[in-house]
Amino acid sequence: MIKNFVSFTGLFLLLILTFSKIIYPEQSSCIIWEKTFDNNGNADAGSSIVEDPEQNIIAVGGTGPTHFTFDYNSDGIVIKTDKNGNIIWKKQFGGKGIDVFSCVITKGTHYIIAGSKTVQSLARQAWLIELDKDGNVLTEKTFGKKFDDGFAQIISTSDNGYLAVGQIQLAANKKSDVWLAKFDENFNIIWDRSLDLGNQDTGMSIAKIGEKNFIVVANTITKNYGNLFQQGYSTFIIIDSNGNILKQQTFKNGPKNKFSKVKSTNDGGAIIVGQTSIKEKFPSEDTWVIKLDKNANIEWTRIFESYGRYDGGFDIVQTDDDGYIITAYSQVHQTERMNFDNFWIFKTDKKGDIIWQYTWGGPDNDDAVAITKTIDGNYLITGSFGSVSWPLNKVPGQCDLYIVKIKDIQISPPAPH
C-alpha cells in the first residue's frame, strides 16, 4: 500500500553509504543542498516536483496521520520554496477522507495539480486544481463515478489543454481500469477512455512520443494487492491525440513487474523506469529501465541490481549529454522484521550503462520519488524521509517531505596508457 500511489518514506541529513566500483571516491558529493519539511507532526511525503519560470520550487504530495487506520484522514499538501529551498508558503487542501496530490506541472507562474479526493457519497474522485503563484485556488474540479478513482499524472498538450492518466472503477463489483482523460484549459472533459487490461489496472504515467502521439504506462495487479508478495504485470500503450490505441505491449516475465514513470527523450522516443522481479528470487525487486524509439520499438532494456533484495526505480530524467539520472530506492540494511529503504540515485550513459551511483539515508525508509531538471542545469528530487515499516501500528510514522538539489557528477575518462 505504501508504495502504490504516494510513497510515505523519507530522508536523514547524514550521508552514509556509497557502493560499487562504479562510484569514484575522489568525486565530491552530488548533493548541492537538502531540506526536510514537517507539517505539524504529520506523516508527510512528496510525490512530484517542478520549478517555475522564476526558479521557485513547488513540491506536492500528501500529509496525514502517523498511523494508517481504516478511516484515516489525509490532505494534499503543496510546498513552495525559493531556488535554495527556503520556504515561501505551505498549504494543504482536502476534507474528510483520503485526499492526496500525485502530480504538479506549471502553467506560467500558475500550478496545475492532479490527484484524488474523497467526495462524500462518491468515494474517491479524480481531482484537478489550479493555483496561482500565491497558492490561491483558481479552478478546482473532481471527476469519476461512484467508486474509487484518481489521477496519477497530468501533462500539458499543444492546444493549451491537458492529458491525465490514472484509474477508474466503473462498478462496485468491478476491478479498476486504466483511465485516460483529455481536458481543455478550464478542466472541461473533451474525451475520456477506460482501458481494461485484465485485472486491477492503474495508469501510472503519460508522455509524448514521436511527433504527435502519447505513451501511457500502466500496471496490473493479479495477486496479493498492496503487500510484499504482490504480483502482476506492466503494459505500455501508444495512443493518438484522440485516445485511440495504436500499439500495446505487455510484460509478464517474472511474477512482479511495475512501471513507475515514462518520460519523453530528445530523439522523439521515450524511457520507462520501474521495478521487476525477473532476475531475483521472488519476492524481490530490481530497478528496471526500458528505452523506446519514436515508433515505440524497444532499443534496450536494463535491470539494475544493488545490495538490497528490494530495489526499484521511481523516476528518470535525461541529462544534457543524453544520459539518464534515475531516482530509486535500495533496501540495503536489515531490520528485525524487514529491510528499510535508502535513497539511491545513479546515472547511466545513453545506452543504459551505469556511470556513477550514490546512496544515502537514515535508519528508516527514505524514498526519492520524483526528479525534474532545473533551469540552471541541475536536478531537483522530492520524496520522503524517515517512515517506518514495522511495527504495523506505527506505519508510516512521523516522516517528512524531502527536497534535495543535486548536480551531475562529471567523471573524467581514464587517461590513455
Q: Which of 330, 292, 326, 280 is nearest to 310 (CA)?
A: 330
C-alpha to C-alpha distance for 291 and 270, rounded to whole angstroms: 6
For the residues of 187-239, what is the DSSP string, one character each?
S-EEEEEEE--SSEEEEEEEEEETTTEEEEEEEEEEESTTSTT-EEEEEEEEE
14 in a structural domain:
no
417 in a structural domain:
no
3 in a structural domain:
no
* Secondary-structure percent of the chain, ordered helix, strand, coil, rounded to 5: 0, 55, 45
> Quick count: other Cβ atoms within 10 Å of Cβ 107?
15
* Mean pLDDT in residue range 351-374: 92
Please tell me the predicted confidence (pLDDT) of residue 362.
Answer: 83
pTM of the model: 0.91
Parent domain of 211: 31-406
C-alpha to C-alpha distance for 157 and 368, rounded to whole angstroms: 27
Q: Cis link prior to 391 (omega < 30° from 0)?
A: yes
412 in a structural domain:
no
25 in a structural domain:
no
209: CATH: 2.120.10.30
Question: Which range among 14-18, 96-100, 104-108, 310-314 shows the weakest confidence by mean pLDDT?
Answer: 14-18
Question: How many structural domains comprise the chain?
Answer: 1
pLDDT digits (tens, 9 = 90+) for 272-305: 999 999 887 777 889 999 999 999 999 999 999 8
Please tell me the predicted confidence (pLDDT) of residue 338.
Answer: 53
* Residue type for position 358: Y
23 in a structural domain:
no
Do residues 325 and 332 touch, judged by C-beta distance below 8 A? no
C-alpha to C-alpha distance for 383 and 403, rounded to whole angstroms: 7
When the pLDDT of each residue in the chain is averaged and rounded to a whole number, the result is 88
Please tell me the predicted confidence (pLDDT) of residue 20.
Answer: 30
C-alpha to C-alpha distance for 73 and 64, rounded to whole angstroms: 6
* Mean pLDDT in residue range 50-75: 93
Residue with cell 552514509: 16
Please tell me the predicted confidence (pLDDT) of residue 307.
Answer: 61
Do residues 386 and 403 touch, judged by C-beta distance below 8 A? no
C-alpha to C-alpha distance for 141 and 224, rounded to whole angstroms: 33
* Mean pLDDT in residue range 42-62: 98
117 in a structural domain:
yes
C-alpha to C-alpha distance for 372 and 317, rounded to whole angstroms: 7
Do residues 37 and 90 touch, judged by C-beta distance below 8 A? yes
8 in a structural domain:
no
Q: How many residues in the chain?
A: 417
- Where residue 232 falls (left for φ over 0; alpha for ψ -120 to 50; beta otherwise) is left
> Quick count: other Cβ atoms within 10 Å of Cβ 26?
5
